[in-house]
Structure 1
Amino acid sequence: MAKLPSTRDVQEALKHILWTRDGKTITASEAYQLLAEHFQLDPTLTRRVIRHGAGQENAWQNRCRTARRNLVALGAMERSPRNQWSLTESARKGMRRNLRELGL
């Protein structure tokens, strides 16, 4: 059975996707789609449901939100406004610095 990418892999891909947006925000729905395309996930995998307490939720969306929460906690993504995902200025500066160090 196919598996979702790890949370760490989703975090790295999400940072890359947001970096390519040059400071523009994306919605959660856009992030789910762009990340699924990045990992070339089969649509059936992105619709898989997991149980949470008395309810259930989409496993792929949960994985993406967890990656976002981790990046917010690390200071790499903005906490708000709601449903607007973007890198922090310090994360963008760090990525630019890394690219310069690599000669890119």
Structure 2
Amino acid sequence: MRKHMNQYKQLTEGQRYQISALLKVETLQKDIALILGVSPPTISRELERNTGKRGYRPKQAHIKADRRRQAAEKSIKMTVEVVRLIVSVASSHLDKLRHLL
């Protein structure tokens, strides 16, 4: 278990518009991070993921982020409960097979 769990928060649509405005006046990424109260790597990742041929576009960036978040939510997490269910079902099937032999 980790000693310290980081609380990650996604950028809001408003923060994305702030990023866009600050980029237009040539604000450095580290200064944007300071203004928004996030880490510099957060800004770097945001720009890397969401800057296209037409530059950083906050509305499109937010739509893309929502799609990535929805796709991530759809994946099944291998929790302790899921493992227990798998073991239980597998054991039940094995017991039935043993009775046939």
TM-score tier after normalising by the smaller chain length: 0.3 to 0.5
Q: TM-score, normalised by structure 2?
A: 0.38
Q: Higher helix share goes to which structure? A: 2
If asked which structure has higher relative contact order (CA below 8 Å, sep 6+), I would say 1
